[in-house]
Amino acid sequence: MRGDMLLMKALPFAVLSASLAMVACDSGSNSNESRNDNPVLPENPVGDGSNIAAVETAEDLMNCTESREGNMAKVLSENAIYECVDERWSKVTVIETLPRDTSSNDISSSSDSSSETSPSGNSSAGETQMSSSSMNSDVSSVRSPHCFEPWHGNEMVYQILTGYDNGSGTSGYWYSFGDDADGGMSTIVWPVPAPATESPDVLDALIDFCGGVCGTFELAKGSLTYDPYAGVGFNIAGVDENGYPTTVDASAMGGIIVTYSSSMGATLELGLGEEMDRSIGYDNPFVVLPKNTNGTVKEFKWSEFKQAGWGDVEITGEEAAKKLASIRFRVQGKDGSKGEFNIKAIKAYNPSDCAAFVPPVFSSSSKNVNSSSSKPVSSSSIVRSSSSGENAVGIKPIDSFETWSGADGMERISTGFFAEKEDGGYWYEYNDSEDGGKSSIIWPEPLGNEYDAKSFLPVIDIYGGVYGTYQLNAGDLPYNPYVGVGFDLAGHDANGNLVLADASSMEGICVGYYSDAPITVEMGFGETKDRELEYDVPLARLPKSTAGTYKEFKWSDFKQAGWGRGEKVSGEQAAKTLGSLKFKIQEKDGSTGNFNIMAVGSYRNGNCSVLSMVPVLP
């Protein structure tokens, strides 16, 4: 049963199966537990001369009231510091002193054997004790600073920023799972058409439509020996290079708060990775989400997650949180049950941990979706062109080209240098019209937004890349017609001249794409120089790929075709004075088909290896 084994799209694209969803509203609710108002004040609890309250357990903390806002206390049993923020105690740091005793994290066996049937139809026998050190299974544990950012489906954010990503950029993407591996036939009907792909952005349109992850479930038992089910979930740390979920110690989250609606009761369960789930008989700690068709908010501490009892191995919610792979929302009921779900918001029980969070630094392929490169500029400052009719000036170094992925929903490529016009890195289209051709690209969405009438963002946001349909019409051309898309590396100076960049340090490029026709990647130097070369510019070829793939090229792989009578230029030479990169489709008159440029990265420092993890899917 591989509900957690996910097929990943290369690049910073993420993972998704295809089966179901759930339902919801808006997040936010505060609760205070009754706590000890008379804590002990040790002389030096932290070891730094401070004088703060110290208590044995978190349950002994005094009430976090408005008057105690900002106060801190040490929880001795956890060797941790808590802070009173927004009327809730939140763990802000763990004091690392002596090596921790992990014996308290052992998972002991249950003395009683339940006759109840596991929802997977499997049970684990013969394992009566399992220490935390033996819980490695098919997943590896990573440590990460905590900052689980609140996710709201109505904010057009498609990835939950968990703060625990393992560096792959694959955490926080919604996926679906079901009972088909055991013979079930449960399905989900989405309210909007879902592409037949297992890419991370497959649910983007759904989230926009529902303001969350929603759908209609239809439970069908098939040949199952237990009640059918289906659900959706997300990974906390992401997956490794083999597609297996990585575990993480998510104790600092404290628990989880969910906003949802559901026409039938559901469960919220803690996933530990397939092998560990199997070893505990799929008796994962869970909490119940009651039926609520109007939408409600529920909050749960890790300690409230309990096993049903059919498994042979015991594990508490707190122990599971220390080896957490995923959080899953499951609907399970009688054969023939139907209903609707919507999960609209998710946040950590201890959200204020973000105040002390220092984001980890990953490779450019997994850059934060809130990168400044996506900052809109006024349309008056954006020059969309194919480098025609301009003089190229200046040579500027390119040192920090960041991998661009359309799945991140960003239009602009962060090339590492932008000239005065701030128009570098923006996509533009071009065609053969100047020479008498009538070729065109049909875009699935109208281009333009409030900042720029020619913005590609509406297309990129929905299709995870520069996606279009090419229609080639020779018109009066004496050669095969063409269309293309491209971007300038540095853009234009204040006088409108194309600025050239020394892109040698990039060492080359890698591209994730699919296309019904071959594509040539051409190096551009501005209209004047291109004309001097008789447009015989260095290029590399992307073969036709309808299944989706990636290709990588060193600058030395770029070669002139040879028809020009002008200067001979190698790819390495061209990279020193590079103005633009263009993706051209040139075929016989009447040719038509689809293409999608989904990622562009620098060859330098092995960035292309990130793109090659698995094939890109259309």
pLDDT per residue as tens digits for the range 221-263: 999 999 999 999 999 999 988 888 999 999 989 999 999 999 9
Residues 6+ apart with CB under 8 A from 224: 121, 179, 182, 183, 184
**pLDDT at position 399, please?**
58
Kind and range of the H or E run holding 596: strand 592-602
Check if the beta carbon of residue 500 is closer than 8 Å to that of residue 395: yes
**pLDDT at position 396, please?**
57
Burial class of residue 143, CB neighbours in 10 A (0-12, 13-18, 19+) = exposed
Span 268-282, average pLDDT: 93
pLDDT tens digits, one per residue of 323-351 = 999 999 999 999 999 999 999 999 999 86
Strand 247-248 to strand 338-348: parallel, antiparallel, or no bridges (unpaired)? Answer: unpaired
Residue 65: other Cβ atoms inside 10 A: 12
CA-nearest of 73, 87, 86 to 33 is 87
3-class DSSP state for residue 426?
A: coil
End-to-end CA distance of the chain: 26
CA distance 314 to 303: 14
Span 185-214, average pLDDT: 76
- Has residue 150 got a pLDDT over 60? yes
Span 596-609, average pLDDT: 79
Residue 567: other Cβ atoms inside 10 A: 12
3-class DSSP state for residue 416?
A: coil
DSSP class of 216: E
Count H helices, E strands: the chain?
7, 32
Check if the beta carbon of residue 363 is closer than 8 Å to that of residue 613: no
Q: How many CA atoms lie within 13 A of 497 on its CB side?
A: 11
- Least confidently predicted of 1-15, 302-316, 569-583, 601-615: 1-15
Structural domains in the chain, sorted by start? 141-351 (2.60.120), 376-611 (2.60.120.430)
Kind and range of the H or E run holding 500: strand 498-502
Residue type at 332 in one-letter notation: Q
pLDDT-derived band at 449, boundaries 50, 70, 90: confident
Buried residues in 90-127 as b, exposed as e (16+ CB within 10 A): bbbbbeeeeeeeeeebbbeeeeeebeeebbbeebbeee
Of residues 59 and 534, more confidence is placed in 534
- Has residue 443 got a pLDDT over 90? yes
Structure tokens at 480: 């095969």
Check if the beta carbon of residue 413 is closer than 8 Å to that of residue 478: no
Q: What is the dihedral of CA 210, 213, 216, 222, to 10 degrees?
A: 160
pLDDT-derived band at 528, boundaries 50, 70, 90: confident
Of residues 543 and 42, more confidence is placed in 543
Q: What are phi and psi of 209, to 5 degrees?
A: -70, -45
CA distance 6 to 138: 13
CA-nearest of 539, 507, 534, 501 to 520 is 539
pLDDT tens digits, one per residue of 176-195 = 899 998 999 999 888 887 65
Please list the residues that pair with 213 across neighbouring strands: 343
pLDDT-derived band at 272, boundaries 50, 70, 90: very high
Residue with structure tokens 């068709």?
Answer: 293
CA distance 339 to 325: 28
- Has residue 20 got a pLDDT over 80? no
From residue 334, how far is each of 119, 222, 264, 285, 339 by CA, in Å? 13, 12, 11, 22, 12
Kind and range of the H or E run holding 396: strand 392-397
- Least confidently predicted of 110-114, 148-152, 420-424: 110-114
DSSP class of 134: G
What is the pLDDT of the chain when averaged over all its residues? 74
Of residues 52 and 443, more confidence is placed in 443
CA distance 438 to 454: 20
pLDDT tens digits, one per residue of 31-61 = 333 333 333 333 333 333 333 566 777 777 7
**pLDDT cut 90: percent of the chain above it:** 37
CA-nearest of 277, 276, 299 to 289 is 299
pLDDT-derived band at 418, boundaries 50, 70, 90: low
From residue 215, how far is each of 24, 189, 277, 297, 385 by CA, in Å? 11, 6, 26, 19, 42
DSSP secondary structure string, 323-355?
TB-EEEEEEE-STT-EEEEEEEEEEESSGGGGG
Q: Nearest 5°: CA angle at 506, between 500 and 508? A: 100
pLDDT tens digits, one per residue of 347-403 = 999 865 454 444 433 333 333 332 223 223 333 334 445 444 445 555 555 557 888
How many residues are given for the chain? 618
Residue 529: other Cβ atoms inside 10 A: 21
**pLDDT at position 52, please?**
53
Please list the residues that pair with 493 across neighbouring strands: none
Residues 6+ apart with CB under 8 A from 96: none
**pLDDT at position 439, please?**
97
CA distance 118 to 14: 30
CA distance 307 to 226: 17
**pLDDT at position 611, please?**
52
